[in-house]
Amino acid sequence: MEEVPLLDVEDIRVYFPVTKGVFKRKVADLRAVDGVSFQIKKGKTLGLVGESGCGKSTTGRCILRLYRNMKGKVTFDGVELTELSEKELRNKRRDMQIILQDPIGSLDPRMTAGEIIGEPLKTHTKARGSEYRDKVADLFRMVELDPAMYDRYPHEFSGGQRQRIGIARGLALRPKFVICDEPVSALDVSIQAQIIAKLEELRDELGLTYLFIAHDLSVVRNISDSVAVMYLGKIVEITRAEKLYANPMHPYTISLLSAVPIPNPKVDRGRERILLKGDVPSPVNPPPGCRFHPRCPNCTPLCRETEPLLARIDPGSDHWVACHNNYSNLATQL
C-alpha cells in the first residue's frame, strides 16, 4: 500500500496586483507562483531550487497560508488547510513552522535569545516558571548553544549562532513539518555545512519533514531525498535527488548543474559550462508557450507556442519534466 504524503500541494497560484497612478488602478498581475504541485512524504526532505525571484519563498508561505489570495489546495496530514477557519488554522500551525533566511532580520533585536526561543511556548502552551525555563534550556542544548546565553541579545551572537536560535524557535513546539527558507544562504561556507548537518540530525532525531528552499543545487544535494527545480513560478523538473544529479532532463536544470563547482580541479576544468542567453523574463509578462524558451538552446516552434505540462518521462517513472523535447536525447543535445 502506497504511503500517504504528509504534505500534498496541488496547483497553487499566487498573483500580486500591479497598480499604477494615484488611484492605484490595477494594470497587470505579477504571477509569483503559477500552478505548482508536489508531495512530501513523512520524514523526507524536498529541496526546492531556483534563481532568486522564481517564487520559491512565496511557495513556502503559501503552504502556511500566509497569503489570502492563494488559489489551489494544500493538504497537510490529511487536512485541507484552505478550508480551515482562522482559529483552526492557528492550532494547525503548531505542526507547521518556518526557519527564515536572514538570521538577524528575523530576530527581534529588543528580545533576548531566551525570549525569542521561548515565545512559541508562551503563545501555544501553558509552560511557565521553572518548567518554561527548563524547556528553553533544552532547546538551547538541542541546537548546541549554551543555556547561559539566555539573556544575550541577537547582536551579541555570530551569524551561525543566530541561525541556531532561529532553528530552536522553529522547533520549540515539536512540529511535524518545517519550511527551511534558504537557512544557510547568508552564512559562510564552513558554517553552512554545520547548519545543514544539524538540520539533518534533528530531522532524524525528531522525525521531521522538510521543505528545503535554496538557490544553489549544491546546498540541497546531501540533505534532500527529492529535488524540485523551479523557474519563473513553475516547477520544470522533479525527481529523486540522486537521479536529478546523475541524469538531469530539463535544459534549465542541466545549465544549473553545469555551474556547480566540482572539488576535483581536473574534472572541473574539463567540463563545459552552459551559459544561458538573455535575462529571466518578468513574471508580470511571462513569455507565451514554455517560459524557458527565450533562453533555451533547444527551443522549437512548439516551445514558443504551447506550454509544456509537467509529465513523467516514462510510464510509472518518478521523474517529472516540463519539456517538449525528446527526454531521452535531451541531455546529449546539450
Q: Is residue 235 part of a domain?
A: yes
Domain span holding position 306: 7-333
Which tens digits make up the pLDDT trace of 111-149? Answer: 999 999 999 998 888 888 888 999 999 999 999 999 999
Q: Is residue 123 part of a domain?
A: yes
Q: Is residue 220 part of a domain?
A: yes
Q: Is residue 67 part of a domain?
A: yes
Q: Quote the CA–CA distance of 213 and 49 in Å, as a whole number.
A: 6
Q: Is residue 1 part of a domain?
A: no
Q: Is residue 255 part of a domain?
A: yes
pTM (two decimals):
0.89
Q: Is residue 210 part of a domain?
A: yes
Q: Are 212 and 224 in contact (CB under 8 A)?
A: yes
Q: Quote the CA–CA distance of 69 and 60 in Å, as a whole number.
A: 14
Angle at 94 between CA 99 and CA 146, to 5 degrees: 55
pLDDT reported for residue 276: 77
User: What residue type is 2 in one-letter code?
Assistant: E
- Residues lower than pLDDT 70 in the chain: 1-2, 261-273, 326-334
Eight-state DSSP code of residue 293: G
pLDDT reported for residue 326: 54
Eight-state DSSP code of residue 45: E
Three-class SS state of 154: helix
Q: Find the helix packing angle between 113-124 and 159-171, rounded to 10°.
A: 10
Tell me which H or E stretch contains 255: helix 251-258
Q: Is residue 2 part of a domain?
A: no
pLDDT reported for residue 307: 92
Q: How many domains does the chain have?
A: 1
Q: Give the closest residue to 235 by CA, choosing from 15, 33, 8.
A: 33
**268: CATH:** 3.40.50.300
Q: Quote the CA–CA distance of 12 and 154 in Å, as a whole number.
A: 35
